[in-house]
């Protein structure tokens, strides 16, 4: 086609169009290649770096060799810097690890870099890491906890104490069961105490089992505490379930053995109804997704704490009214006292060893509950051995004395007639 100027001709079969497309495609490929070469190899290296430990315990003035593990190489030099929560407690040498780039990265090679962690003073500190330039490695989930302590010996003693008070608390249920069996009577054992106890340990079991076995609840917990540890261990689950089981055995004895006219009081029923209503309402809210199931478990734990504060009051008042502790096992109290005392002593040892007195006095709930239980244990011991000492000789017909030194005491009726002359 001519138009008084240049003539533009197209070869047959669209050869000119095909040539233009080839040129365009080559240009696009060149641009993509340039972009790929120019871009950091971040997408293939995301989360390809970690440290070989996540929880570390070291002594003051002790050095521990950590390894920063790198999987794959990079085409740019990187600087990995430790972000220490409390730099006055721990120091990293070197503070920054330089990872040189290479023009031909190997995406499968594994390279380790040594970092020395030095304990400066006792305490707890978290350590995260930052990588520059950004976009090459995602280290948001890479961190470790470091505990600097005064002494490994104190740490071992604290660990042993933990198992001793765990055993003492677990065994503490059986002296009462044995006393009931030997006497064939539960007279003197307060039913409000049993009712509150079984509900408290049921709530505690729900909390422990939910956090230990449910992946959904665990994910809720870690979403709120992304660098936290699961607060529930297997021994917590065992203790709470065992305590519930042992309390149910004691309650079953109340239906089998002599109990006179004892029953759960109206006040006790009112408290149980209130707590039961809270459980039902929060469970419904959890089922309706108004609150998370983790919040439901927290409410269960609050009920357990409240019950721990009040559960001994009915038994102490009943002993006062009867002016006697007959039927109430002092062995249970001794074991509970040993467990509570060692629990608080363990807290004190840990506070000294890790210089963490804030947790010792700041955790008012745990410390207050432990101290409150010890005070009640001491009060029960005073009731048994001081206030109502003589009343221990008052037995039911055919009843076996609780103390071996009372074997020669005469049997008397169950109705209290004052101390023997």
Is it the case that residue 12 has pLDDT exceeding 70? no
Contacts for 150 with CB less than 8 Å, ≥ 6 apart: 59, 60, 122, 352, 353, 355
What is the CATH number assigned to the segment(s) 49-149?
A: 2.60.40.10
Instruction: Give the range with max mean pLDDT: 120-124, 190-194, 403-407.
Output: 190-194
Asked if residue 418 has pLDDT above 50, the reply is no
More confident residue, 405 or 110: 110
Q: What are the boundaries of each domain within the chain? A: 49-149, 153-398
Q: Which residues, other chains included, contact 343 with Cβ-Cβ below 8 Å and sequence gap of 6+?
A: 165, 370
> Given pLDDT bands bounded at 50, 70 and 90, which one contains residue 260?
confident
Nearest to 125 by CA among 53, 64, 56: 56
How many angstroms from the chain centroid is the CA of residue 13? 77
Say which residue, 162 or 395, is predicted with more confidence: 162
CB atoms within 10 A of CB 10: 10
The pLDDT value recorded for residue 329 is 93
Which pLDDT score is estimated for 359? 66
Q: pTM of this prediction?
A: 0.71
* Tokens linked to 395: 């037995």
Write down the pLDDT at residue 273. 97
* Per-residue pLDDT reduced to its tens digit, 90-139: 999 999 999 898 888 888 888 899 999 999 999 888 899 988 888 778 78
**DSSP character at residue 14:** G
Neighbouring-strand partners of residue 51: 68
- Cα–Cα distance measured from residue 78 to residue 133, given in angstroms and rounded to the nearest whole number: 6
Looking at per-residue pLDDT, the higher value among 28 and 388 belongs to 388
Query: By three-state DSSP, how is residue 192 classified?
Result: helix
Q: What confidence tier does 49 reach under pLDDT thresholds 50, 70, 90?
A: confident
Complete DSSP assignment for 326-393: TTS-HHHHHHHHHHHHHHHHHHHHHHHHTT-HHHHHH-HHHHHHHHHHHHHHHHHHHIIIIITSGGGG
**Averaged over 265-269, what is the pLDDT?**
95
Task: Report the range out of 5-14, 35-44, 267-276 with the highest average pLDDT.
Answer: 267-276
């Amino acid at each position: 086609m001519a138009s008084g100027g240049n003539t533009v001709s197209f070869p047959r079969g669209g050869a000119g169009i095909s040539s233009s497309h080839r040129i365009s495609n080559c240009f696009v490929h060149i641009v993509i290649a340039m972009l790929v070469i120019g871009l950091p190899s971040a997408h293939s290296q995301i989360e390809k770096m970690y440290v070989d430990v996540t929880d570390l315990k070291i002594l003051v003035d002790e050095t521990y060799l950590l390894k920063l593990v790198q999987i794959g190489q990079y085409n740019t030099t990187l600087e990995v810097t430790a972000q220490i929560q409390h730099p006055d407690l721990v120091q990293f040498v070197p503070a920054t690890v330089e990872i040189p780039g290479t023009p031909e990265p190997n995406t499968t090679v594994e390279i380790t870099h040594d970092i020395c962690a030095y304990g400066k003073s006792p305490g707890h500190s978290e350590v995260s890491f930052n990588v520059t330039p950004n976009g090459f490695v995602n280290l948001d989930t890479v961190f470790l906890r470091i505990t600097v302590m005064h002494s490994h010996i104190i740490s071992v003693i604290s660990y042993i104490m933990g198992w001793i008070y765990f055993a003492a608390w677990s065994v503490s249920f059986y002296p009462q069961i044995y006393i009931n069996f030997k006497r064939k009577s539960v007279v003197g054992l307060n039913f409000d105490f049993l009712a509150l106890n079984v509900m408290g340990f049921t709530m505690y079991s729900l909390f422990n089992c939910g956090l230990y076995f449910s992946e959904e609840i665990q994910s809720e917990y870690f979403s709120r505490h992304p660098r936290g540890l699961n607060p529930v261990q297997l021994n917590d689950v065992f203790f709470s379930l065992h305590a519930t089981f042992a309390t149910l055995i004691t309650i079953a004895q109340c239906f089998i053995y002599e109990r006179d006219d004892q029953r759960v009081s109206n006040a006790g029923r009112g408290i149980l109804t209130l707590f039961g209503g809270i459980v039902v309402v929060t469970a419904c809210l959890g089922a309706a997704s108004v609150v998370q199931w983790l919040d439901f478990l927290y409410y269960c734990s609050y009920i357990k704490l409240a019950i721990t504060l009040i559960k001994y009051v009915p038994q102490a008042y009943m002993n006062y009214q009867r002016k006697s502790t007959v039927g109430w096992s002092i062995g249970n109290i001794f074991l509970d006292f040993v467990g509570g005392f060692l629990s608080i002593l363990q807290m004190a040892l840990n506070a000294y060893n890790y210089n963490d007195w804030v947790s010792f006095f700041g955790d008012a709930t745990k410390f207050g509950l432990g101290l409150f239980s010890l005070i009640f244990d001491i009060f029960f011991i005073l009731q048994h051995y001081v206030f109502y000492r003589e009343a221990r000789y008052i037995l039911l017909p055919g009843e076996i004395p609780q103390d071996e030194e009372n074997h020669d005491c005469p049997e008397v009726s169950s109705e209290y007639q004052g101390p023997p002359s």
